[in-house]
Amino acid sequence: MYGSHGRRPPRATRGRRGATIRRRARALAAVLAGAALLLAGCSSSGDGKGGGSASSEPSPTVGQRPKSQAPYWVDPAGNAARQAASYEREGKSAEAARMKKIAAQPVAEWIGTEDPRGQTERVTKAAAKVDRSALLVLYNVPHRDCGQYSKGGAKDAAAYRKWLDAVVAGIGDRAATVIVEPDALAHVVAEGCTPRKFHDERYGLLAEAVTELKRLPDTTVYLDAGNPDWIRDTGALVEPLRRAGIAEADGFSLNVSNYQTTASNIAYGKELSPKVGNKPFVIDTSRNGNGPLEGAHGDEEAWCNPPGRALGEPPTVETGHERVDAYLWIKRPGESDGECKGGPPAGRWWPAYALQLARNAKG
């Protein structure tokens, strides 16, 4: 299942991978706070980083965020919403309140492989019904994750293209913001990870994904560019991003499933942006409230389910920075990074970790 994707760089590498959000007419955007949709059949089975949200259980009504602040769909039947409802039934009011900090925010849907068109259609249609954009993640590139916790992906290029076609058909003319293949480029740049014989294929598939998605009438696309503690030389990402289609994309994404601070990501993104045509970027703030784990230089998996972390800034397009299109919750808070530090498989829902993130959050 998609989730914290076990994004880890090879042992030789420190750190880990780590529309243009159309700020369209924010002043005119209708605020639909309180609008809700019970979606029993919306599943998230992204095979690694994110977990599933499919359930036929009744779930509490979750309102949408004001569109001018966060134009993305809040899933009223997501893991956190259902967990909050469960805690309420058990009389665990403190736990329920903490879980609602997650349930109230839009989080990304990682598109799986079982029914990519059906899953994408369900999410984009649910979002369209409440006048929101779906936030989606593609994470199925062949030879994914360097054989680590979220290893896998499509068996070959043909299988990836077939899967991509299904996702594109599932989006159709509905509004969507898509993060393209977290870690894929950083794993090419990082030595000892993705074998060189697969590099050209990967660049080609990423460029095709960007091209196909941008042919849709209302889709915004961000190519993933890792995080500031992974590929520290931004210049090393310029040619890979170019070959992967950054010129046609709306921008790039940073910090997906990682814990680097928002400030460090802003500085990194502003350094990289002029090198790739002044493209804007988005930052995953889902779990970076306390930054990365300190004093863990000897831990090669310091990025994997680190203790003491916290939710970061809530998703918003009001970042206060010209090049920063949005803070997003791309990694779904409460879903495991992998089988480390007592965690379940990558992408599996882990309520105890979700509570920890919410408990440690500011505000």
47, 224, 325, 337: the catalytic one is 337
Instruction: Indicate if the pLDDT at residue 217 is higher than 80.
Output: yes
Residues near 105 by beta carbon (within 8 Å), at least 6 away in sequence: 65, 70, 74, 314, 315, 329
- 145 part of the active site: yes
Q: φ, ψ for residue 211 (rounded to 5)?
A: -60, -45
47, 75, 145, 250: the catalytic one is 145
Cα 30 to Cα 40, 72, 132, 212, 336: the distances in Å are 26, 13, 10, 30, 35
Least confident of 8-17, 105-114, 268-277: 8-17
Q: How many residues does the chain have?
A: 363
Q: The tokens of 174 are what?
A: 């509905």
Q: The tokens of 220 are what?
A: 């915004």
Least confident of 6-15, 48-57, 134-143, 186-195: 6-15
Q: What percent of the chain has pLDDT over 90?
A: 75
Q: What percent of the chain has pLDDT over 70?
A: 82
The pLDDT of 208-229, averaged and rounded, is 98
- 165 part of the active site: no
The DSSP-derived string for 65-99 is PPTTT--B---TTSHHHHHHHHHHHTT-HHHHHHH
Instruction: Indicate if the pLDDT at residue 24 is higher than 60.
Output: no
Distance between CA atoms of residues 119 and 355, nearest Å: 27
Burial of 160 (0-12, 13-18, 19+ CB in 10 A): buried
pLDDT in tens, 297-320: 667 788 899 999 999 999 999 999
- 233 part of the active site: no
Q: The tokens of 67 are what?
A: 């569109």
Q: The tokens of 3 are what?
A: 């989730």
The pLDDT of 153-159, averaged and rounded, is 96
pLDDT in tens, 165-213: 999 999 999 999 999 999 999 999 998 788 899 999 999 999 999 999 9
Instruction: Indicate if the pLDDT at residue 41 is higher than 50.
Output: no
Instruction: Indicate if the pLDDT at residue 231 is higher than 80.
Output: yes
183, 224, 229, 325: the catalytic one is 183
